[in-house]
Amino acid sequence: MKTLMVFDFDHTVVDDNSDTWVIRCLPGQTLPDSVKNSYRKGHWTEFMDRVMGYIGEQEVSPERVRSVMETIPFTAGMTELLTFISEHKGSVDCIVISDSNTLFIEWILQASGLRGAVDRVYTNPAEFNQRGHMEVRCHHSHGCQHCPVNLCKRQVLEQFLSEQSDQGVEYRRTFYMGDGGNDLCPTYCLRGQDVVMPRKGYSLEKLLAKLEGQEDNGASRAKVIAWSSGDEILQELKASMQS
């Protein structure tokens, strides 16, 4: 039975927010208030669609956007972790579930030479239209009251596990790595032998700490191990594979 590694992307695989990093491609590296103030809570994807529309209107080329995105730094130890995963594809599967978008993630992983480590990416679809402006759409619609309107990571993870099970693939252990509030929901479908790994000092770690000791919180079924570098995740993965 394989091990499944599930990663968030922003502030997890990469050490920044890809959606805010893209602003660096603008000449003044800032957005006008008319765009900034258009954000509504829980509707980040629609906001990013407007941001990318504005960037396109400033005649920033797709090539310029890509070159800027390829400079985003990886979190410490993450390249080594993903390299290890790519070298052990027979025993480790790896997916990304992210609130970023397809183009950003593909560009960043391809530029680093690490795309082969990731089997599937679940995120918001993005493409350039005929005018050369990037358009970003919601990943899916869902009925979860706890997640942003564009993406419920629990629903994505449960569907992935169900599809794998239908194909005869069962995982002896699942590791979930994330940092943000939207990474809490998928931890509720983890089992007792699974591990949720929140990044130290970020929202997910604090949310899990609040839930600790509460009855029926769901997330407590999985072991919680906080991390600050990919090296620590790699150590846990290696230990699990040897047990």
Q: Is residue 38 part of a domain?
A: no
The confidence band for 215, taking pLDDT boundaries of 50, 70 and 90, is low
> Which residues partner with 7 through β-bridges?
96, 177
Q: Return d(Cα 206, Cα 210) in angstroms, integer.
A: 6
Q: Return d(Cα 238, Cα 134) in angstroms, integer.
A: 40
Q: Looking at residue 142, what is its pLDDT? A: 86
Q: Is residue 35 part of a domain?
A: no
| Residue percentage of the chain with pLDDT more than 90 | 89
Q: Is residue 30 part of a domain?
A: no
Q: Looking at residue 213, what is its pLDDT? A: 63
Q: Is residue 104 part of a domain?
A: yes
Q: Looking at residue 145, what is its pLDDT? A: 86
Q: Looking at residue 42, what is its pLDDT? A: 82
Contacts 24+ apart (CB under 8 A), 204-211: 204/178, 204/179, 204/180, 207/181, 208/184
The confidence band for 39, taking pLDDT boundaries of 50, 70 and 90, is very high
Q: Is residue 131 part of a domain?
A: no
What value does the mean pLDDT take over residues 56-80? Answer: 97
The pTM score is: 0.95
The confidence band for 87, taking pLDDT boundaries of 50, 70 and 90, is very high
Q: Is residue 177 part of a domain?
A: yes
Residue 193 pLDDT greater than 90, yes or no: yes
Query: The CATH number of the domain where 168 resides is what?
Result: 3.40.50.1000
Catalytic residue set: 8, 10
CA distances from residue 189 to 92, 205, 215, 219 in whole angstroms, order as listed: 19, 17, 15, 8
Domains in the chain, number: 1
Q: Looking at residue 214, what is its pLDDT? A: 66
Residue 138 pLDDT greater than 80, yes or no: yes
Which residue range is the domain that position 97 belongs to?
2-15+74-123+141-242
Mean pLDDT over the full length of the chain: 94
Q: Is residue 20 part of a domain?
A: no
Locate tokens 């994807």: which residue?
45
Q: What H or E segment, with its residue span, contains residue 84?
A: helix 78-87
Q: Is residue 101 part of a domain?
A: yes
